[in-house]
């Protein structure tokens, strides 16, 4: 019996801070022996090896017990943590926007398969976010150890606080999601053929513009993307407190737009100009002009989608903090 207790106390002693070992072990030995005596008195017999092991297990693992006698130290203390948390969120938000823009650029201009490019971009973004989080944490850990922020908090003066206007609750805007729903439904009606609108063609009918075959391939993905956007606008209008859903839909719409933009950009020609009569030179010039304009418009639309997603996520964050 004593051998088991001594082994337990020896394991605790090994993990104790220097200087207080003997006093702590004596106190712990007294507690263990007292509990064993109480257990033996209640049972009316000496405890067996397994029962003593159960008593020691009640005290906890030797490392855990020894840790309770150590001075509790945290990497970032409670006074510094609010500053650390604020700076960390700002830094990660900025890095996330930058990485999203870079991901969009990689997807649009990549020669590799789309999924491979996206996975590589996500891997790079994750590594960048973790690296910046580690750097911010290291910086504030140094601040915690040097005590610089503690000195600032002790010496700050109420007179130094800026004069800020009173916070006012802004009325919720409902015009934008309603307009988005109406536009989305109108687009779906045109896209599916329920609302026939003929493709644009020059007034003098020297050439006719047709959609390229790539649009047939993207028929259902476009419907899915627009439907998701309609659901997002409906959620903003009918369930504004469902911020997690709204954020997920916003990210999904941005990702879908970037993916479609990448496919369209890699496809090259998005419209086909057909000459009417013998005026083929005019049709060729129109084809070149449209190809150039659309080659510029597609990446711009992808970038704007990413920017809009970032703005919406920022607004949702502001709504949550109110």
Profile the chain (322 residues) by mean pLDDT over runs of 10 residues: 77 76 85 87 85 85 77 69 84 81 61 69 86 91 77 63 52 73 85 65 60 87 91 86 87 89 86 72 76 83 87 78 55
- Show the 3-state SS of the chain: CHHHHHHHHHHHHHCCCCCCHHHHHHHHHHHHHHHHHHHHHHHCCCCCHHHHHHHHHHHCCHHHHHHCCCCCCCCCCCCCHHHHHHHHHHHHHHHHHHHHHHHHHHHHHCCCCHHHHHHHHHHHHHHHHHHHHHHHHHHHHHHHHHCHHHHHHHHCCHHHCCCCCCCCCCCCCCHHHHHHHHHHHHHHHHHCCCCCCCCCCCCCCCEEEEECCHHHHCHHHHHHHHHHHHHHHHHHHHCCCCHHHHHHHHHHHHHHHHHHHHHHHHHCCCEEEEECCCCHHHHHHHHHHHHHHHHHHHHHHHHHHHHHHHHHHHHHHHHHHC
**75, HSE (Cβ side, Cα atoms, 13 Å):** 8
d(CA 94, CA 178): 30
Residue 31 β-bridge partners = none
d(CA 74, CA 134): 16
Q: What is the pLDDT of residue 149?
A: 67
pLDDT at residue number 99: 78
Inter-axis angle of helices 280-321 and 243-267, to 10 degrees? 160
Pairing, β 207-211 against β 271-275: antiparallel
* Burial of 305 from C-beta contacts in 10 A (0-12 / 13-18 / 19+): buried
Residue 167 is predicted with a pLDDT of 43
Contacts of 240 (CB under 8 A, 6+ apart): 172, 246, 319
- Residue 130: per-residue pLDDT: 92
Q: What residues have CB less than 8 Å from 288, skipping those under 6 apart?
A: none
């Amino acid at each position: 019996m004593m051998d088991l207790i001594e082994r337990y106390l020896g394991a605790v002693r090994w993990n104790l801070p220097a200087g207080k070992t003997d006093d702590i072990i004596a106190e712990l030995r007294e507690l263990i022996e007292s509990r064993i005596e109480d257990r033996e008195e209640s049972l009316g017999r000496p405890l067996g090896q397994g029962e003593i092991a159960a008593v020691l297990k009640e005290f906890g693992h030797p490392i855990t017990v020894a840790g309770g006698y150590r001075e509790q130290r945290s990497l970032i203390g409670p006074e510094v943590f609010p500053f650390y948390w604020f700076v960390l969120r700002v830094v990660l938000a900025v890095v996330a926007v930058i990485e999203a823009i870079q991901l969009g650029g990689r997807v649009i201009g990549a020669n590799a398969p789309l999924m491979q490019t996206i996975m590589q971009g996500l891997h790079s973004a994750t590594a960048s976010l973790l690296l910046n989080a580690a750097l911010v944490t290291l910086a504030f850990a140094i601040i915690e150890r040097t005590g610089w922020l503690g000195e600032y908090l002790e010496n700050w003066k109420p007179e130094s606080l800026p004069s800020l206007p009173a916070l006012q609750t802004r009325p919720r805007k409902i015009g934008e999601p309603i307009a988005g729903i109406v536009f989305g439904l109108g687009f779906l009606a045109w896209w599916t053929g329920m609302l026939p609108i003929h493709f644009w063609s020059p007034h003098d009918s020297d050439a006719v513009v047709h959609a390229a075959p790539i649009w047939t391939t993207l028929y259902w993905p476009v419907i899915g993307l627009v439907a998701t956007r309609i659901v997002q606008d409906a959620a903003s209008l009918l369930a504004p407190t469902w911020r997690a859903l709204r954020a997920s839909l916003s990210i999904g719409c941005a990702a879908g737009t970037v993916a479609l933009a990448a496919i369209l950009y890699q496809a090259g020609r998005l419209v086909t100009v057909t000459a009417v009569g013998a005026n083929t030179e005019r049709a060729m010039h129109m084809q070149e002009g449209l190809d150039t304009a659309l080659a510029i418009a597609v990446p711009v639309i992808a970038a704007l989608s990413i920017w809009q997603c970032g703005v919406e996520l920022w607004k949702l964050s502001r709504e949550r903090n109110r």
